[in-house]
Amino acid sequence: MPRSLTHKYDGLAQTAYEADDTVLMAKVIALAAQISDFEKEEVMSRSLRGAIGAKSVDVLNYLIAQGADVKKLSATDVFGGGQTSKEVLEILLAHGWDSMYRNLLRD
């Protein structure tokens, strides 16, 4: 598996989800997509977890609309950073998140 370059985008992505800025997040994803589909998926996956932790509802909805897969999120991904807002949980559940899912490769 190729090594991801997502660390190049972590700062921009963090700024996007902390500000709940979908325009900036779209730019980060576009930059990653120029490198590869793998890179785009990695950036979206990491940003999805960041948006959950930051309670960034707009960015969370944007990432899901762009194809981020909430079904692969473990309970640790959702609750690991502290309290998760009710609104974030409702969005995840509405898009098929299973609180019992466990990624045995990662957990």
Contacts of 4 (CB under 8 A, 6+ apart): 38, 39, 42
Query: What per-residue confidence (pLDDT) applies to 106?
Result: 47
> DSSP states of 6-52 as a string?
GGGTHHHHHHHHHHT-HHHHHHHHHHHHHH-HHHHHHHHHHHHHHHH
Query: What per-residue confidence (pLDDT) applies to 50?
Result: 93
Cα separation, 43 vs 58, in Å, equals 17
All structural domains of the chain with their residue ranges: 6-94
For residue 103, pLDDT over 80 is answered with no
Phi, psi for residue 44 in degrees, rounded to 5:
-65, -40
SS3 call for 81: coil
Query: What per-residue confidence (pLDDT) applies to 21?
Result: 97
Tens digit of pLDDT for each residue in 9-67?
Answer: 788 999 999 999 999 999 999 999 998 999 899 999 999 999 999 999 999 999 999 99
pTM of the model: 0.84
Query: What per-residue confidence (pLDDT) applies to 23?
Result: 98
For residue 88, pLDDT over 80 is answered with yes
